[in-house]
Amino acid sequence: MTQTFIKIGNQKVDASEVTVPQDRTFRDAWVLNNGAIEIDQTEKNKILKGKVKDEAYRRIIALCPEWKQRNLTAQASILAEKGRDNWTAEELSAWEVGEAIWSEIATIRSKSDELEAMDPIPQDYTEDKWWA
């Protein structure tokens, strides 16, 4: 039988000795022989950065689904080619709506960057107070 090893911090551990509580993932907590193995802060921040990115994505998609983002991008391209001086009132209004949506998306991306740069990243990063 071949042994499989995983690395936890600087430790090489037999994978058969590692269990994960059902309410956790391998990224959240490691348990070895019924004793918790601490993940260092650098590793925790790497994990949380990914989760912050996931939260930003969730917020962006809730605001503007990908299909709508593609439509806004196509619309902006067409309007740019037409030239602002040649837009109708409806086209100007559509541009302004799209511009407002992109501004909100840019804010979410900026807040995500700020959270990812924090050390440590706050555990309550999903709360609205961090994204306003």
Kindly report, residue by residue over 91-109, the tens digit of the pLDDT.
999 999 999 999 999 999 9
Q: Are both 32 and 49 inside the same structural domain? A: no
Residues 47-59: tens digit of each pLDDT: 889 999 999 999 9
d(CA 94, CA 91): 5
Residue 75's nearest CA partner among 56, 62, 57, 88 is: 88
Q: Are both 78 and 124 inside the same structural domain? A: yes
Q: Are both 65 and 106 inside the same structural domain? A: yes
Q: Are both 57 and 93 inside the same structural domain? A: yes
Q: Are both 65 and 15 inside the same structural domain? A: no
Q: Tokens standing for 24? A: 């956790």
Share of the chain above pLDDT 70, in %: 69
Give the pLDDT band of residue 45 (cuts 50, 70, 90).
confident
Q: Are both 77 and 25 inside the same structural domain? A: no
Q: Are both 73 and 101 inside the same structural domain? A: yes
Domain carrying residue 17: 5-37
